[in-house]
């Protein structure tokens, strides 16, 4: 017992430690449950019942897992699973849902919100008189109005009702005898400047007088207003009370019998229309097919050109007789070490038609003319391929160098004894053996370039535009930049539903590429066991 401990303290130590851990666990779970309760109240108020049910089930499952000894192994899996669901599964599911909707500019709100907007629109009654308004405010910042029409009739509007001045419970007071009232009961007269901060609030107030609706038209004028639209839920129809035109809910819009659409639509499911438009509607299909074809071409050429240059450099640097090989490798790796977005912006400046070094210092002095890198579709494609070659060849050089090191040197010695030339050694030994090792990486590079937004968007922004395209489509757009521009750069607003449909197609294509990669690499193939 020289260290001062006793059997009793040794027995109590685990209990104290366990009690402290239990206390921390209860506190953390209490915070989680408190946050969940707050979110549940919000979801209940917004009537998102399915989300509320998922939240309650999830919190109950978390409490059970972390308080029950039977579910101890699950405690280490739950945090990662939650983040997986929030960061990966939910965005995927939501994107799939949006792809079957008309969600986008003009169709952002729910149907209930759109109906509320229309039924809360008012138009002024031109056949009824207007009133000059004097504004009064009490200490509780409640407002009353003294309204006077052209014939001198006066009304007092307060608490949603307007009555003649003689019948109001708010006695007027003219203290200085100038004919203007300083007070209405406990309400004091306000100047226009004083009511200006409350103007938006005052414009929302309505007052009933003899069954008619009075509203503020300007800070010193009131008029009679009537609702512009009435909604019939049984017929799912809005009626313009001014013109008598009926607008029926049709596919996310309120549309009249002659095809006229109201300016605000609502979000709704439209089935496979987005996908059908991409493949059957010429206005969408032709630009989409051009973008799809260029995406495949861009990814394929990028892989071939970077692999060819990387392989050439790797073979040259693999020669043991080459001096300063380490220096050359260090220099050639610089494009791979620099941030891609910085490199893309530098190349964009170099390709500038008027001020770029490539034209002004090289092409114009040699050939007497500049190349329109960003104006001509062909040269714009050449520009992005050049930039992608600069960014990609160091990676290919590295993987090819690694593959070359794994080839037995004895094979080359045997081939040299047989009299094989350098080209034949490369063609029959180096290239086949190396290709078998780097093929999965080439497929992965193809998938990467399939979604290489950096090069396309930072160098050409997808331009030049394709003439006649109904969507924001450029000659150098690939599917991912086409999707981004469709969602955020359309001149008439974003079409998130169509963009989500394209995103889903990209996901399917990349999934197929990934499956091919997995199959070719045989990474999940079982290795036979031998006794």
In this prediction, residue 148 carries a pLDDT of 95
DSSP-derived 3-state class of residue 145: strand
- Whether the CB-CB separation of 100 and 272 falls below 8 Å is answered with yes
- Whether the CB-CB separation of 194 and 202 falls below 8 Å is answered with no
Q: Write the CA distances from 218 to 90, 192, 199, 204, 208, integer angstroms.
A: 48, 10, 9, 12, 18
Rounded to a whole number of angstroms, the distance between the first and last alpha carbons of the chain is 54
In this prediction, residue 510 carries a pLDDT of 85
In this prediction, residue 11 carries a pLDDT of 42
Nearest-10 crossing angle of helices 282-317, 431-450:
140
All structural domains of the chain, each given as residue ranges with its CATH number in brackets, are: 122-227 (2.40.430.10), 282-521 (1.10.3720.10)
In this prediction, residue 503 carries a pLDDT of 93
Looking at residue 256, the DSSP 8-state letter turns out to be -
In this prediction, residue 524 carries a pLDDT of 57
Q: Categorise residue 51: left if φ over 0, alpha if ψ from -120 to 50, beta otherwise.
A: alpha
Per the omega criterion (within 30 degrees of 0), is the bond before 200 cis? no
What is the mean pLDDT, run by run of 10 residues, along the chain of 531 residues? 47 52 86 94 89 92 89 89 91 94 93 94 92 94 94 94 93 87 93 91 93 93 95 96 94 94 94 92 89 95 97 91 89 92 94 90 90 95 97 95 90 88 89 90 91 94 88 92 87 84 91 79 58 51
CA distance 227 to 210: 16
CA distance 168 to 389: 83
Q: Write the CA distances from 416 to 322, 422, 435, integer angstroms.
A: 20, 9, 21
Vertex 501: Cα angle to 299 and 88 (nearest 5):
80
DSSP strand pairing (122-124 vs 154-158)? unpaired
């Amino acid at each position: 017992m020289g260290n001062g401990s006793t059997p009793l303290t040794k027995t109590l130590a685990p209990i104290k430690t366990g009690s402290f851990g239990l206390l921390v666990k209860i506190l953390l779970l209490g915070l989680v449950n408190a946050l969940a309760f707050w979110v549940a109240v919000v979801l209940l108020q917004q009537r998102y019942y399915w989300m509320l049910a998922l939240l309650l089930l999830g919190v109950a499952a978390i409490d059970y897992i972390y308080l029950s000894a039977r579910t101890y192994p699950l405690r280490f899996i739950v945090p990662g699973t939650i983040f997986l669901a929030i960061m990966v599964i939910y965005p995927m599911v939501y994107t799939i849902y949006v792809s079957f909707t008309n969600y986008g500019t003009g169709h952002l709100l729910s149907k209930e919100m759109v109906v509320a907007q229309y039924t809360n629109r008012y138009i002024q009654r031109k056949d009824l008189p207007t009133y000059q308004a004097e504004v009064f405010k009490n200490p509780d910042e409640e407002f009353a109005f003294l309204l006077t029409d052209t014939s001198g009739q006066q009304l007092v509007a307060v608490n949603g009702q307007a009555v003649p001045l003689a019948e109001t419970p708010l006695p007027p007071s003219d203290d200085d005898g100038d004919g203007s009232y300083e007070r209405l009961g406990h309400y004091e007269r306000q100047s226009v400047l004083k009511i200006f901060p409350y103007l938006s609030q005052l414009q929302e107030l309505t007052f009933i007088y003899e069954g008619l609706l009075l509203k503020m038209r300007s800070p010193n004028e009131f008029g009679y207003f009537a609702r512009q639209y009435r909604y019939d839920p049984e017929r799912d129809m809005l009626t313009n009370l001014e013109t008598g035109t009926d607008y029926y809910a049709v596919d996310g819009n309120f549309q009249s019998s002659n095809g006229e659409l109201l300016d605000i639509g609502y979000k709704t499911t439209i089935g496979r229309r987005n996908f059908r438009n991409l493949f059957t509607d010429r206005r969408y299909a032709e630009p989409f097919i051009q973008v799809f074809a260029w995406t495949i071409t861009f990814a394929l050429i990028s892989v071939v050109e970077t692999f060819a240059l990387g392989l050439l450099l790797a073979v040259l640097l693999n020669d043991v007789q080459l001096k300063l090989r380490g220096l050359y490798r260090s220099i050639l790796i610089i494009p791979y070490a620099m941030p891609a977005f910085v490199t893309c912006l530098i190349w964009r400046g170099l390709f500038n038609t008027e001020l770029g070094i490539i034209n002004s210092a090289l092409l114009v002095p040699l050939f007497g003319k500049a190349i329109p890198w960003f104006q001509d579709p062909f040269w714009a494609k050449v520009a992005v391929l050049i930039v992608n070659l600069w960014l990609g060849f160091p990676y290919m050089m590295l993987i090819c160098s690694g593959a070359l090191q794994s080839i037995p040197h004895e094979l080359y010695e045997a081939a040299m004894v047989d009299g094989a030339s350098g080209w034949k050694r490369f063609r029959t030994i180096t290239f086949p053996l190396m290709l078998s090792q780097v093929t999965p990486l080439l497929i992965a590079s193809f998938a990467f370039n399939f979604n290489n937004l950096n090069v396309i968007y930072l160098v050409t922004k997808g331009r030049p535009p394709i003439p006649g395209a109904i969507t924001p489509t450029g000659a150098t757009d690939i599917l991912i930049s086409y999707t981004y521009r469709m969602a955020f750069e359309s001149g008439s607003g974003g079409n998130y539903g169509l963009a989500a449909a394209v995103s889903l197609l990209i996901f399917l294509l990349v999934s197929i590429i990934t499956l091919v990669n997995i199959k070719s690499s045989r990474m999940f193939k079982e290795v036979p066991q031998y006794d």
